[in-house]
Chains A and B, each alone.
Chain A
Amino acid sequence: MPDPARLAALKDTVAIVGVGETDYADDHARARRGERRQDGYGHAATAFRRALADCGLRRTDIDGLITGPTLAGERLGEVLGMDVRWADQADAVQAVLKAALAIHAGVAECVALVYGTDQRAAGIAYGGQGAMGGERHLAYTYFAPWGLTSQGALYALLTNRYLAVSGLTERELGEVAVAQRAFARLNPAAVLRRPLTIDEHLAGAYICEPLRRTDYCMINDGGVALIVTTAERARALGRPHVLLSGIGRSDHNRDATSLRPRLEEFYRPAQRQAAEQVYAMAGIGPSEIDVLQVYDSFSIHVPLALEGFGFCPDGAAGKLLTSGDLAPGGRLPVNTAGGHLSGSYMQGWGHQAECVRQLRGAAGERQVPGARTAQYVSDVAGKVTSLIYGRAA
């Protein structure tokens, strides 16, 4: 079992001091014109350069490197000209978790977390027989003989069941896409910034019913880098930084391909376990979260997180979605940069950068006034992880 005393010793001892992102909207406009200007390593290098400049550390200060899942760590180290003492590969949320554990254990002091993707330019397929992720999640490709592939189709099955069980309506669910588009319109770097009303959303075509085009994430190219170090080093740098106050994780893989945890539990038991751990470690509850970022391959992730993490009772997400609380100016702003649906599909990496920006008070027009705590919730097919960040005093 997770040891609360050991977790408490990690609380607020690790900081994110630097963030760097590529120019999502500009890069996307180029990609749509058919100009392939950059590969994933190039996007990663841009983001890394910006993250270093953001924190004031030199490249030679970096002694740990975590590479995102789309690039090879060895090659990225070569591209960035870095020799390090500790290295790993991980998705966005596990990268933060691993960096914190490595720094806490003393195997590295300044860890760069670097992601870059050219998924759109390279034509990565998320559906079809060779669907992305099938090597890890058998369900993404196993049912190809029946025409069932893609993470979206599996979440469409979940949504079909969830609407029937919870009473959530397609109109209520549509408020996720509408609210996130409203945030994207306040973010100059967001890719999709045209206005979106609930009626326009509902008039849009289904991809896999009951999920529509605007319930799905977009696919675009870019990079994100985060620089993580000790709280002491962060203080010495003298720049605004955020502290990692809570971590929670629960991975449920039993019966994954037979879809039981997806269709009968909506991954709720895994979310409950992760929630219990992250809130206990941070010493706060959902009512004390100022900004919420949810991994949103699809809109349905948001109501699942709201209920799974206790932001509302089970079955009450629809009411919360229509209240306006999650939109700009609301009580619980969600995916304030536009998320994957409208901002940029950086597979959760951009959500970490947005947590940092909001807690630094540097989020421009979309800034949540006085934000002191930010929570990230990621649930990808039952692999649930949550982080709570706090503004350094």
Chain B
Amino acid sequence: MRPAPQPGLHDEPYWRYAAAGELRLQRCAGCGHVRYPPGPACPECLAAERSWERLSGTGELLAWTVFHRPYFPGIPVPYVVLAVRTPEGPILIGNLAGADRAQLRHGMALRAVYEQVTGPDRSWQLCQWSPTEQSTEEHA
């Protein structure tokens, strides 16, 4: 069982799009800035008007950590958490999917993949990250 997302007023569309496997964030209608987390105003120009823009679903690996201490009964350790810089601007968080942590390199190209997870009373889609090109060592 995964911890449920925080039910923030501005977050609902993010999770609704995620359920359809789409990575969408708020883009300011005034200046075009893509912001994360979702919020009531653009932190660049303060405009309230915005659209939910679909991201490219790509990014590069900025940083990672491996959890060795369990904080959630539904997520067994060790597990990897990634910080991913998207070309649209925001840094997003995800777990490593379809790869081993030994493959991780700063700056490596990643792509968003959606994983069905189950929480206390429902299931939902979680945006995770996977290396864009499979390393050759994996097949060696």
CA of A387 to CA of B133 in the docked complex: distance in angstroms?
Answer: 50
Say whether B106 faces chain A, with CB atoms less than 8 Å apart. Answer: yes
Say whether A156 faces chain B, with CB atoms less than 8 Å apart. Answer: yes
Say whether B135 faces chain A, with CB atoms less than 8 Å apart. Answer: no
Cβ contact within 8 Å between A147 and B65: no
Cβ contact within 8 Å between B69 and A207: yes
Which residue of chain B lies nearest to A205 when distances are taken between CB atoms in the complex?
B68
CA of A158 to CA of B81 in the docked complex: distance in angstroms?
Answer: 12
Give every chain B residue within 8 A of A33 (Cβ-Cβ): none
CA of A206 to CA of B4 in the docked complex: distance in angstroms?
Answer: 26
In the complex with contacts A127-B71, A145-B2, A259-B91 CB distance below 8 A? yes
In the complex with contacts A138-B37, A158-B63, A263-B63, A146-B94 CB distance below 8 A? yes
Give every chain B residue within 8 A of A161 (Cβ-Cβ): 62-63, 83, 106
* Residue from A147, A164, A254, A259 within 8 A of B43 (CB atoms): A254
Distance of B28 from chain A, by nearest CB (Å): 14
CA of A255 to CA of B44 in the docked complex: distance in angstroms?
Answer: 10
Contact with A along B66-94 (1 / 0, CB 8 A): 11110110010001010100000011111
In the complex with contacts A147-B75, A257-B36, A207-B63 CB distance below 8 A? no
CA of A21 to CA of B92 in the docked complex: distance in angstroms?
Answer: 42
**Interface residues of B, count at CB 8 A:** 31
Say whether B126 faces chain A, with CB atoms less than 8 Å apart. Answer: yes
CA of A44 to CA of B61 in the docked complex: distance in angstroms?
Answer: 46
Say whether B40 faces chain A, with CB atoms less than 8 Å apart. Answer: no
Distance of B39 from chain A, by nearest CB (Å): 9
Cβ contact within 8 Å between A146 and B83: no
Give every chain B residue within 8 A of A146 (Cβ-Cβ): 81, 93-95, 126
Give every chain A residue within 8 A of B90 (Cβ-Cβ): 258
In the complex with contacts A146-B81, A259-B91, A160-B4 CB distance below 8 A? no
Cβ contact within 8 Å between A145 and B81: no
Give every chain B residue within 8 A of A316 (Cβ-Cβ): none
Say whether B5 faces chain A, with CB atoms less than 8 Å apart. Answer: yes
Cβ contact within 8 Å between A258 and B81: no
Contact with B along A127-157 (1 / 0, CB 8 A): 1110000000010011111111110010011
Cβ contact within 8 Å between A208 and B69: yes
Cβ contact within 8 Å between A258 and B68: no
Interface core residue of B4, B68, B90, B106 (most chain A CB under 10 Å): B68
Give every chain B residue within 8 A of A156 (Cβ-Cβ): 65
Which residue of chain A lies nearest to B66 when distances are taken between CB atoms in the complex?
A209
CA of A127 to CA of B77 in the docked complex: distance in angstroms?
Answer: 14
Cβ contact within 8 Å between B64 and A128: no
Cβ contact within 8 Å between B68 and A147: no
In the complex with contacts A153-B67, A164-B106, A258-B36, A142-B81 CB distance below 8 A? no
Cβ contact within 8 Å between B3 and A144: yes
* Residue from B37, B66, B71, B126 within 8 A of A145 (CB atoms): B126
Give every chain B residue within 8 A of A239 (Cβ-Cβ): none
Interface core residue of B37, B75, B93 (most chain A CB under 10 Å): B93
Give every chain A residue within 8 A of B4 (Cβ-Cβ): 144-145
Cβ contact within 8 Å between B36 and A157: no
Say whether B6 faces chain A, with CB atoms less than 8 Å apart. Answer: yes
Give every chain B residue within 8 A of A314 (Cβ-Cβ): none
Say whether A260 faces chain B, with CB atoms less than 8 Å apart. Answer: yes
Say whether A26 faces chain B, with CB atoms less than 8 Å apart. Answer: no
Cβ contact within 8 Å between A157 and B64: yes
Give every chain A residue within 8 A of B91 (Cβ-Cβ): 255, 258-260, 263
Give every chain B residue within 8 A of A254 (Cβ-Cβ): 43
Say whether A365 faces chain B, with CB atoms less than 8 Å apart. Answer: no
B residues neighboring A (CB under 8 Å) = 2-6, 36-37, 43, 62-69, 71-72, 75, 79, 81, 83, 90-95, 106, 117, 126
With A129-B72, A153-B67, A157-B64 given, can you name 14 additional A-B contacts, CB distance below 8 Å? A145-B126, A146-B94, A146-B95, A153-B81, A157-B65, A157-B83, A158-B63, A160-B64, A164-B106, A206-B66, A208-B67, A257-B36, A259-B93, A263-B62
3 shortest A-B CB distances, which residue pairs? A161-B63, A156-B65, A209-B66
